[in-house]
Chain A
Amino acid sequence: MAPLSDIKSPERAGASTDDAEARAQTTPVSKSALAVGIVMILVFVGVVGIIAASFFSAVPEISWPSFLVDSSTTLEKLGLMTFVVLLFVGVMALLLFMVDSRKRVPNWTVAIAFVGPALAALLLGLIWPGVSTIIQSFYGRSPWSDPERSEFVGFDNFATLFTTSEFQVVLRNTMIWVILVPLVAVGLGLLYAVLIDRTRGEAVSKGLIFLPMAISLVGASIIWRFIYEYRAPARPQIGLANQILIWLGLDPYQFLLNSPWNTVFLIVVMVWIQTGFAMTIISAAIKAIPDDIIEAARLDGVSGLRMFRYVTIPSIRPALLVVWVTITMTTLKVFDIVRTMTGGNFQTSVVANEFYTQSFRQFDFGLGAALAVLLFVIVIPVVVYQVRQLRLSEDIR
């Protein structure tokens, strides 16, 4: 019999425990499940081993079969892709069927089979790199794992970021992005959601605004660079923005060149993309406002702007905050737009772009790491807030 004890719902927990323990003592332990548990532990050890070996530059030369790492024809690529998908799903399925035994399965093996792969991946790809980068931010330009060249510099990197005028511009721009993008995107999203609520063709109207979400930031940047395209006044304009200026009797303008307004024009691209996201969630929240609240307010003589201010807004407040937070986080990490449209020139660079430049163009890994850590620090309060919301919603359940 399969073990019931593992699935404990709060209501039933007490009732099932005795039952399960009794069974636990009578059924033999499933060997395959144990094996899975052990394998997963080995995987963890392996991941830690890879990290350590990489750290000490002691990884033995691994010669992968060439079809795994070196595919140049379309057929090879597609073949490898199919192979990987099948391999992966197969391994996961095997893992599961091994723990699914009629014999007694220790709870930890089930838990580790289900959560283990995720945790191992996170350890390898997020936790260790995160820690390593934080340490690096206190070191000079060489990697801290290289004791011969690296030197501990304390907070020097951060001091450079805050005191050098070129980085101050970067910080200023990042602030402008983080403030303006969520503000305008949420504002417009709210406006649009309210305007089209329960109108005919609502789905289509939503779809149009939402569409830019499907376009890559690189694609969006090209689309907008084309709009901002500048031609000398004497020649026909091919960029819409400058053509509109011409129609208005003004001179064409270098939208991407003149600081600080060029940052605003880059922000327009991000707003264009994010408004659809804000609108969708806000719209759903508006629809979720119970009708009786509206009715009650109306009976009290509340209407118009006051209804919006005192009933609609408070009701959708949680949704507004979530949208705000999400867009803020996305904005902080944005890199593609700046890189594709201006390459960070003309005083438009932001922290995320400067990170790439410092790390992969100047090879100052210390400064690059400090920039990444800065991003990290800015996002922390936002996530703390989210975790608190999560906790609250868990409590309600």
Chain B
Amino acid sequence: MTTSNPSVPPPAVEKKQAPKGPRKLTKAEIRATEAKTKLTSPWATGIAIVMAILWTIPTFGLLVTSIRPQSSIQNSGWWTWFTNPEFTLDNYDAVLFGSSTGFLTYFVNTVVITIPAVVIPITIALLAAYAFSWIEFRGRDLLFVAVFALQIVPLQVTLIPLLSIYVDVGLAGSFWTVWLSHSIFALPLAIFMFHNFMKDIPRSLVEAARVDGAGHVRIFFRVLLPLLVPAIAAFTVFQFLWVWNDLLVALTFAGGTPNVAPLTVRLAELSGSRGQDWHLLSAGAFVALIVPLAIFLFGQRYFVRGLLAGGVKG
């Protein structure tokens, strides 16, 4: 471990805690006792703050870098910005509209890839999850466990056979490859997550609807769907982040053409060929992360619920 590793508390913390020398031995105890009560120990607060800062600084540094002029970026660290503030949008201009980067085109590609790749699996998975939760048929439980277990298949395993199928049916190099692949890969988790949510819906609600003479389709739309909105929101955020941020699937299926390739592919390429062009890389990275960040902040509550449903309850 070195200084760059966030797990090492910087000396500042030690200093803060020094005056409380005698209590040093019991620091862990204090922390633990207060776990279930209010946390007031300055020491604990200190660690928390330091961690929060360590986790934020990398992104912040890049943000600052992206608004500095190219020559400053190359000749001084971004932290000097505080003593010598400069501001320019040239980097963003170069990255978005410059012909050698053309991020705008790739941005559009990412949007075009992401939206169907979120809608399609949600639709399919909702239906399947409903069937696994509320329709009795032979072998249902076994099938459900099998679908769940498919989560283990690493993406890598599927790439080459899938690619050759796409090539065979003449879809290679189109958006369809990416849409279909992302949709399929998302299914096991999506079905599992929606299943977990559906199980939590009180049986009595469904029973009541059934007594009123509603069929599966009506129960699904009238009773379950409104209650599932949070679950759908959760998975939407989840899948959105996944697809938007994916590199492997896009790299394999979409290739690098400006017609199809998303931002991540372009960004990885730029990082490999213009490794020292930090004015482009920093602005590019920010263009790529601004939308997921917004979605994330907006949907954070749902996302956390989704994580919990997909994780802990399982």
Contact between A240 and B76, CB atoms less than 8 A apart: no
- Which of B13-21, B143-151, B228-236 touches A? B143-151
* Closest chain A CB from B110 CB (angstroms): 10
* Closest chain B CB from A344 CB (angstroms): 11
Does any Cβ of B come within 8 Å of A2's Cβ? yes
Measured CA separation A196–B151 after assembly (Å): 33
Contact between B288 and A192, CB atoms less than 8 A apart: no
Measured CA separation A221–B247 after assembly (Å): 12
Does any Cβ of B come within 8 Å of A28's Cβ? no
**Would you list 29 pairs from A and B whose C-beta atoms are within 8 A, ordered by A residue?**
A7-B136, A8-B136, A54-B165, A57-B168, A61-B170, A69-B174, A81-B116, A88-B123, A97-B217, A113-B127, A125-B181, A133-B157, A192-B51, A195-B47, A197-B35, A215-B289, A223-B285, A226-B278, A238-B76, A241-B3, A268-B6, A280-B304, A304-B26, A304-B30, A326-B311, A335-B156, A340-B268, A356-B251, A379-B152
Chain A residue nearest to B237 in the complex (CB):
A214
Measured CA separation A219–B184 after assembly (Å): 25
Contact between A85 and B267, CB atoms less than 8 A apart: no
Contact between B158 and A129, CB atoms less than 8 A apart: yes
Q: Mark A1-14, 1 if CB is under 8 A from B, else 0.
A: 11110111100110
* Closest chain B CB from A89 CB (angstroms): 6
With a CB–CB cut-off of 8 A, which chain B residues contact A113? 127
Measured CA separation A216–B75 after assembly (Å): 28
User: Which residue of A194, A217, A387 is within 8 Å of B31 (Cβ)?
Assistant: A194
Number of inter-chain CB pairs below 8 Å: 457
Task: From known contacts A211-B59, A238-B73, A281-B312, infer whether A228 and B4 are also in contact, taking CB-CB under 8 Å.
Answer: yes
Contact between A226 and B184, CB atoms less than 8 A apart: no
Contact between A78 and B62, CB atoms less than 8 A apart: no
- Which of B82-90, B92-100, B203-211 touches A? B203-211
Contact between B300 and A210, CB atoms less than 8 A apart: yes
Q: Mark B295-308, 1 if CB is under 8 A from A, else 0.
A: 11100100010011
Interface of A is mostly: helix
Contact between B314 and A216, CB atoms less than 8 A apart: no
Does any Cβ of B come within 8 Å of A198's Cβ? yes
Does any Cβ of B come within 8 Å of A51's Cβ? yes
Interface of B is mostly: helix
Chain A residue nearest to B214 in the complex (CB):
A2
Chain B residue nearest to A137 in the complex (CB):
B157
CB-contacts of A93-151 with B (<8 A) = 96-97, 99-101, 105, 107-108, 110-111, 113-115, 117-119, 121-122, 124-130, 132-134, 136, 143
Does any Cβ of A come within 8 Å of B112's Cβ? yes
Task: From known contacts A304-B32, A312-B35, infer whether A219 and B149 are also in contact, taking CB-CB under 8 Å.
Answer: no
Contact between B55 and A122, CB atoms less than 8 A apart: no
* Closest chain A CB from B142 CB (angstroms): 11
Does any Cβ of B come within 8 Å of A177's Cβ? no
Does any Cβ of A come within 8 Å of B101's Cβ? no
**Which 8 residue pairs are nearest across A and B when measured between Cβ atoms?**
A304-B29, A125-B184, A216-B245, A308-B32, A2-B215, A100-B217, A114-B131, A129-B158
Chain A residue nearest to B3 in the complex (CB):
A244
* Closest chain A CB from B131 CB (angstroms): 4
Contact between A132 and B161, CB atoms less than 8 A apart: yes
Measured CA separation A165–B295 after assembly (Å): 45
User: Which residue of A4, A13, A77, A208 is within 8 Å of B56 (Cβ)?
Assistant: A208
Does any Cβ of A come within 8 Å of B201's Cβ? no
Contact between B245 and A215, CB atoms less than 8 A apart: yes
Contact-residue bracket for chain B: 35 or more
Contact between B157 and A373, CB atoms less than 8 A apart: yes
Chain B residue nearest to A125 in the complex (CB):
B184
Q: Mark B100-113, 1 if CB is under 8 A from A, else 0.
A: 00000100110110
User: Which residue of B6, B31, B251 is within 8 Å of A195 (Cβ)?
Assistant: B31
With a CB–CB cut-off of 8 A, which chain A residues contact B175? 71, 77, 80-81, 84
Measured CA separation A13–B134 after assembly (Å): 12
User: Which residue of B127, B145, B148, B161 is within 8 Å of A118 (Cβ)?
Assistant: B127
User: Which residue of B30, B55, B174, B267 is within 8 Å of A275 (Cβ)?
Assistant: B55
Contact between B217 and A382, CB atoms less than 8 A apart: no
Q: Mark A251-274, 1 if CB is under 8 A from B, else 0.
A: 001010000010011001001100
Q: Of B149, B215, B275, which is in contact with the most chain A CB atoms at under 10 Å from its CB?
A: B215
Q: Mark A324-338, 1 if CB is under 8 A from B, else 0.
A: 001001001101100
User: Which residue of A99, A215, A306, A391 is within 8 Å of B216 (Cβ)?
Assistant: A99
With a CB–CB cut-off of 8 A, which chain B residues contact A286? 35-36
Does any Cβ of A come within 8 Å of B227's Cβ? no
